[in-house]
Amino acid sequence: MRKGVRQSMAWLHAWSGLVVGWVLFAVFVTGTASYYRAEISHWMRPELRREAAPGPEAMAAAAERAVLHLQAHAGGARTWFIGLPSAEKPLLDLFWRTGPGRPPGHVLLDPETGAPAAVRDTRGGDFLYRFHFELNMPPLWGRWIVGICALIMLVALVSGIVTHRRIFADAFTFRRDKSAQRGWLDAHNVTGVLALPFHLMITYTGLATLMLMYVPWGVNTAYRGDAQAFFAESGQITAPRPPAGRPGTLAPLGPMVREAMATIPEPLERLSIVNPRDANATVVAVFEEPHGLSHEHPQVAFDGATGRVLEVRAGGLQPASKTVTTMVGLHEAHFAGAALRLLFFLCGFAGSAMVATGLVLWSVARLPRGEAPGGFGLRLVQTLNIATVAGLPAAIAAYVLANRLLPLGLPDRAGWEVGAFFGAWLLVAALAPLRPQRRAWAEMLAAAAGLYAAVAAADGVRLLREAITGGAAPEALFLVFDGAMLGLAALLLLAARKAARTGASARRAPRPVRPPLERARAAYPEAAE
């Protein structure tokens, strides 16, 4: 029997979504959380308090203290990076590179004293942000894997649009009283269609953010592999200067900081000092991007030896670069206010649900009857579904819970937090195949709900202890965050109860075996012609 276009697209949609669905779920969930990256980082460092933004004199003094530390501890480094204090993060964040293949250095300092900051060691929201596009792998490997999966996701989205000819009706159709398979299909359609423009935008712009890594041949050919020259000519960075090969002395940074802040009205974010001990040292002041879609940072470059201004970059990007930076801005939503950022978060949440329901739908549509295990392939997909859809939320909860439970002075404390993330995930993956499939869903989701409730409880104990000892009143951020943890716990507990009830009803009323074509038509009725 000859297949129609929609039937062919249904097959492509189902299989393209399955082969990368587990990675896409992790990317969607951690990317959605990254919209509140700064808030997560602040919650994971409760010792810090939001303060008024420092003025030029305070910033200049902090930069001088940073240089003193770097000269004493990173004198041989080729590049110094100084993250300057802000209202959200009142710390000096120092980072330096000594050379290819060597581990970078990193330290947090008190901007008023120059001493190591008395804050807990944590990667905060930055871990989730980088996991979103690197999967905690070597950057080149992780970014390529995520890029390939994003490209396949575009295929799944387009084929899904072709498959569902009732696409607008699907946005308002959710039949809970029908079969479990129909319910999962409706949930997949609703979460996919309601935020479809977001899904298309976020997938395409995600590819665009790393475009030069995926297709570098044009730039490599035109600039003979000199990427810095390309970025400078396109207006994204100031022109780099080669080292002179002669020793030099770095001029005081205070006057440069004050002049840069007088030149650019945006908040000063960081300083980059290239070849700090060379006669051709360069100091670049990098500012936060102006409000708007384009993700571009104004910059002022100084001669490090004399303090003379070399170049000011404030707008004026070439059209192609403006297009790319706008796509980056759309993807990261730095321009968004509180309401729009919440909308982005909810759309990302819908995207996570779309991927999760699609994975579950694939396996439910192929179950031969009730609790029958099916073949090895089906059982493998079921196990991976539980390990990913239930395991990743549990892992994130374990990560933030470890932040509250681990001793503050534990060596490599940030590494232990990341270890808790992967340990919880691996534990769920190991336990999932040992239990009947529907029981495993209920038990793992309930365990994840318990972890999120434990996060709120652990922070509640900390807040209560501070209140008893006469500490400062808690910031609203901590109360909102703890409330969000309880909300996620309730949502996961509801899902666990639903899984348990579904399993009980399936045991009472097993389904008859249906031919593969009939199962495909039931899973994707819109594809029937």
**Can you tell me whether residue 254 is helix, strand or coil?**
helix
With tokens 């999120």, the residue in question is 452
Q: How many whole angstroms separate alpha carbon 165 and alpha carbon 169?
A: 9
Neighbour count for residue 496 (Cβ, 10 Å): 21
Do 107 and 91 meet the contact criterion of CB atoms below 8 Å apart? no
| Residue 64 backbone zone (phi > 0: left; psi -120 to 50: alpha; other: beta) | alpha
Q: 90: burial class by Cβ within 10 Å (0-12, 13-18, 19+)?
A: buried
What is the reported pLDDT for 453? 97
Q: Check whether residue 515 and residue 454 sit in a common domain.
A: yes
Asked if residue 220 is part of any domain, the answer here is no
Neighbour count for residue 234 (Cβ, 10 Å): 17
Residue 271: φ, ψ to 5°: -120, 140
Q: How many whole angstroms separate alpha carbon 136 and alpha carbon 130?
A: 7
Q: Check whether residue 340 and residue 383 sit in a common domain.
A: yes
Q: How many whole angstroms separate alpha carbon 155 and alpha carbon 261?
A: 46
Q: Check whether residue 301 and residue 335 sit in a common domain.
A: no
pLDDT digit string, tens, across residues 484-512: 999 999 999 999 998 887 654 545 444 54
Do 105 and 82 meet the contact criterion of CB atoms below 8 Å apart? no
What is the reported pLDDT for 57? 94
Q: How many whole angstroms separate alpha carbon 75 and alpha carbon 95?
A: 12
With tokens 């060691």, the residue in question is 121
Q: How many whole angstroms separate alpha carbon 110 and alpha carbon 71?
A: 17
Q: Check whether residue 471 and residue 389 sit in a common domain.
A: yes
Q: Is the dihedral angle over the CA atoms 317, 323, 326, 327 positive or is it negative?
A: negative
Neighbour count for residue 505 (Cβ, 10 Å): 12
Neighbour count for residue 130 (Cβ, 10 Å): 17
Domain region containing 270: 56-119+237-316
With tokens 């929609």, the residue in question is 6
Q: Which helix (H) or strand (E) holds 503?
A: helix 476-508
Q: Check whether residue 112 and residue 131 sit in a common domain.
A: no
Q: Which helix (H) or strand (E) holds 9?
A: helix 5-33
Helix runs in 74-214, H state only: 124-134, 139-163, 167-170, 180-194, 196-209, 211-214
Q: In what order do the strands lie in the sheet with 282-287?
A: 105-109, 92-97, 79-83, 268-274, 282-287, 299-303, 309-313
What is the reported pLDDT for 3? 62
With tokens 């336990």, the residue in question is 431
Q: How many whole angstroms separate alpha carbon 507 and alpha carbon 502?
A: 9
Weakly modelled stretches of the chain, pLDDT under 50: 1, 370-372, 504, 506, 508-510, 512-513, 516-517, 519-520, 523-529
Q: Check whether residue 520 and residue 387 sit in a common domain.
A: yes
What is the reported pLDDT for 317? 81
Q: Check whether residue 384 and residue 499 sit in a common domain.
A: yes
pLDDT digit string, tens, across residues 427-446: 999 999 998 888 899 999 99
Q: Check whether residue 308 and residue 342 sit in a common domain.
A: no
Number of domains in the chain: 2
Q: Which of 287, 316, 345 is the last residue of a domain?
A: 316
Asked if residue 215 is part of any domain, the answer here is no
Asked if residue 325 is part of any domain, the answer here is no
Q: Check whether residue 444 and residue 482 sit in a common domain.
A: yes
Q: Which of 253, 288, 316 is the last residue of a domain?
A: 316
Number of residues in the chain: 529
Q: How many whole angstroms separate alpha carbon 384 and alpha carbon 399?
A: 21
Asked if residue 323 is part of any domain, the answer here is no
Q: Check whether residue 366 and residue 508 sit in a common domain.
A: yes
Q: Which of 268, 283, 316 is the last residue of a domain?
A: 316
Asked if residue 225 is part of any domain, the answer here is no
Q: How many whole angstroms separate alpha carbon 286 and alpha carbon 261?
A: 10
Retrieve residue 511's tokens: 């389904």
Q: How many whole angstroms separate alpha carbon 207 and alpha carbon 328?
A: 10
Asked if residue 260 is part of any domain, the answer here is yes
Q: Check whether residue 168 and residue 292 sit in a common domain.
A: no
How big is the CA angle at 354 (ends 349 and 355), to the nearest 5 degrees?
100
How would you write 411-429 as a 3-class SS string?
A: CCHHHHHHHHHHHHHHHHH
Asked if residue 180 is part of any domain, the answer here is yes
Q: Check whether residue 26 and residue 172 sit in a common domain.
A: yes
Asked if residue 467 is part of any domain, the answer here is yes
Tell me the pTM.
0.88
Residue 293 Cα distances to 204, 296, 329, 334, angstroms: 16, 9, 5, 8
